[in-house]
Amino acid sequence: MKRILVAIVLGALLAPAAHAAPVTDQPPSDASIKALFEAMHASSLLDGVWSQMNSMMDSTIKQATANQPLNEAQRAIASDMSRQMADLFKESMAWEKLEPVMAEVYKKSFTQADVDGMLKFYKSPAGLAVIQKMPVVMQNTMKSMEGMTRDMMPKLQQIVQDSAEKLKAAGSAPAAQAQ
């Protein structure tokens, strides 16, 4: 789940590649990358993820404990765990920490002409629409993925259970049979 969220965020930040200008060999300047991130409202986009992530974690906990009724103390523990995990993500993936990493990725991935083209796009009406609608796109994506993971959960649990049984059986087999 956490990897999916990170992939969505990074995908949203990397999506502008489809709208890049013709390639030249000149690397982008730090100033142009910073201007691009500002035009993309990258920090706001990331901020919008956190509330969605809280909902997703709550949903995941509910799915994981669906067959087990929780008492009030257990619900409090699960809620606290969810909050701690969200806080850790928020702290570890804060824009102040992510921006230099993303700037380096952009420098390695795009040319100055690419960045100039993306800046032009994000300042256009279509680019502004992408920026304004991206939080809704992300929210809808997460809702869709919750359904997908809910459907996958029993299968994943069965795979884990089957593998655990196989590991246990393989561990109890005589050494001669393992060779």
Q: Is residue 21 pLDDT above 50, yes or no? A: no
Q: How confident is the model at residue 141 (pLDDT cuts 50, 70, 90)?
A: confident
Q: Is residue 33 within 8 Å of 118, Cβ to Cβ?
A: no
pTM equals 0.60
For the chain, the domains span: 2-153
Each residue of 56-94: b (16+ CB within 10 Å) or e?
bbebbbeeeeeeeeeeeeeeeebeeebeebbeebeeebe
Output 19 or 67, whichever has higher pLDDT.
67
